[in-house]
Amino acid sequence: MGFLDNIILGFQVCLSPTNFLFCLIGVTLGTLVGVLPGIGPMGCIAILFPATFKMEATTGIIMMAGIWYGAMYGGSTTSILVNIPGEAASVVTCLDGYQMARQGRAGPALGIAAMGSFIAGTLSVVGLMCVAQPLATLALRFGPPEYLAVMCAGVVIVTYLARGSTLKALMMAAVGIILANTGLDLITGLPRFTFGFEELTDGIKLASIVMGLFGISEVFINLETAFKTDIYKTKYSNLWPSLRDWADSIWAILRGTAIGFGLGSLPGVGPITSSFVSYAVEKKVSKHPERFGKGAIEGVAGPESANNAATGGNLISLIALGIPSNALLALLYSSLIVHGIQPSPLFIKGHPDIFWGLIASMYLGNVLLVVLNLPLIAIWVKVLKIPYHILFPLILLFCIIGVYSLDSSTFDLHIMLIFGVLGYLMRKFGYEAAPLVLTFVLTPQLEAHLRRSLTISDGSFAIFFTRPIAAGVLSFALFLLLSNFSPYLRKGRKKHQAFADEEDG
């Protein structure tokens, strides 16, 4: 099939009544969770994850992807009007967006955020379409050692970019590996880490883990927080930016798109990092950097473009290599696995309807988001006034229904509650859930590739160092890992030197 035929196939898939409906539902829910502070796309997708088991694979992926990039749109509304980021990737937008609102320019700020997001989202889809297939062709040369190396590098990069302690991130990754090994060994058939519970012989369900870590823990966190927002009174009827605003913003939008897509294509780098880098670049290249933080429209256009473009870049590793690069993509990966579809370099060739349907749905979703965001801003502002004591019991109810509906198992509900308490404690003590979820999803493949590699080499680990690609990727991962601990080593050396100086003195 030619390129045009593939595009036509994609639009035929996404414009079917069912897929169109769930694309609309996805981007609407995404915008909503982006507007509401504290929930985020991960929590929403975790809650709806079990529902995708009853859908067609294409429909489920289209809806979950819509929630993801829809949240990038919605997060800018609260950042500009309330000075509270509805989504973590919109933190930077607060700096100049809220100042524009206080100056009576909330309309242009909201307008440029929406249009910048639309342009960046569309261009990132074009980039995904152009890059994914050649990369998948290249990845066909990979064997088990290369796949193992790339997966290990992905896990290391996620821990390297952790917002908190690297050691804590590595600990969470190790916990994810242990949890993934719960159940029957695929080779020997012997139970592992079941502790006598027959229910654990089938392993721990991903839905129970993610709903506990992201859904239930969110309820616990907000029960102890008196959350109140004061919406700044300003007019935002004129949403279309002026020609001067476009002239100031267009290059920021294009730079943000390039930064977001480029960084997003790297394993472990998401919209948050991209938006911060974009803001720093815009401030650096500006002729008037003193305006940043005081209402510079480029400070809204660049980061909002970057965080939307990063979503397209993030999909490259999943689609072309079959490797999820963050916790959210791990849910998309698991959704495909549930439907008997293995993401791999052969994914595009074997399932063109899903790939091109997703591509076309992202084009369609970006148009729907512009239509939704600009006219419905007044409605989204009213949504912010929903009391949390009403909102969070509903989240708890959806989590319980979602987990119980999978196997009608009360044991799974207990597991979800345990991970809810664990997720609450993790947040309180600065442990991130993303490395745990990512390694939990990747471990079965990691173990399979490790065993295949050792079978090929007759049990010799030298295979990972004699094959150039595997050796290079593992060396890079090791370098990142060691560089994370270099500050601790320097600190320990200084303490040792100070102690020696005291003794000499």
For the chain, state the CA radius of gyration. Answer: 23
Instruction: Indicate whether 488 pLDDT > 80.
Output: no
What's the pLDDT at 77?
76
Judged by DSSP in three states, 72 sits in helix
**Residue of 89 and 199 predicted with greater confidence:** 199
Beta-carbon contacts of 167 under 8 Å, excluding residues fewer than 6 positions away, are none
Task: Over range 478-483, report the average pLDDT.
Answer: 81
What's the pLDDT at 388?
64
Closest CA to 358 of 96, 101, 128, 86: 128
Instruction: Indicate whether 457 pLDDT > 80.
Output: yes
Task: For the chain, give the percent of residues with pLDDT over 70.
Answer: 82
What's the pLDDT at 270?
65
The answer to whether 323 and 317 have CB atoms below 8 angstroms apart is yes
> Longest Cα pair distance anywhere in the chain, in angstroms?
82
Supply 382's token pair. Answer: 């009213």
Task: Over range 442-461, report the average pLDDT.
Answer: 85
The model's pLDDT over 208-219, given as tens digits with 9 standing for 90+, comes to 887 788 778 877
How would residue 220 be classed by pLDDT, with cut points 50, 70 and 90? confident
Q: CA-CA distances (angstroms) from residue 330 to 127, 133, 214, 262?
A: 21, 21, 14, 20
What's the pLDDT at 20?
92
How would residue 425 be classed by pLDDT, with cut points 50, 70 and 90? very high
- Average pLDDT for the chain: 79
Instruction: Indicate whether 232 pLDDT > 60.
Output: no
Confidence (pTM): 0.67
Domain ranges within the chain, ordered by starting residue: 3-227+242-497
Task: Over range 23-36, report the average pLDDT.
Answer: 83
The model's pLDDT over 75-87, given as tens digits with 9 standing for 90+, comes to 777 677 766 665 6
For residue 141, give the DSSP letter: T
How would residue 269 be classed by pLDDT, with cut points 50, 70 and 90? low
What's the pLDDT at 254?
92
What whole-number distance in Å separates Cα of residue 505 and Cα of residue 499? 10
The answer to whether 45 and 331 have CB atoms below 8 angstroms apart is yes
What whole-number distance in Å separates Cα of residue 393 and Cα of residue 372? 27
Closest CA to 47 of 59, 32, 64: 64
Instruction: Indicate whether 496 pLDDT > 60.
Output: no
Instruction: Indicate whether 492 pLDDT > 60.
Output: no
The answer to whether 481 and 158 have CB atoms below 8 angstroms apart is no
Instruction: Indicate whether 442 pLDDT > 80.
Output: no
For residue 183, give the DSSP letter: E
Closest CA to 267 of 370, 350, 360, 152: 152
Q: At 184, phi and psi to the nearest 5? A: -90, 135
DSSP string, 210-275: HIIIIIIHHHHHHHT---------------SPPHHHHHHHHHHHHHHHHHHHHHHTSTT--HHHHH
Supply 93's token pair. Answer: 């937008």
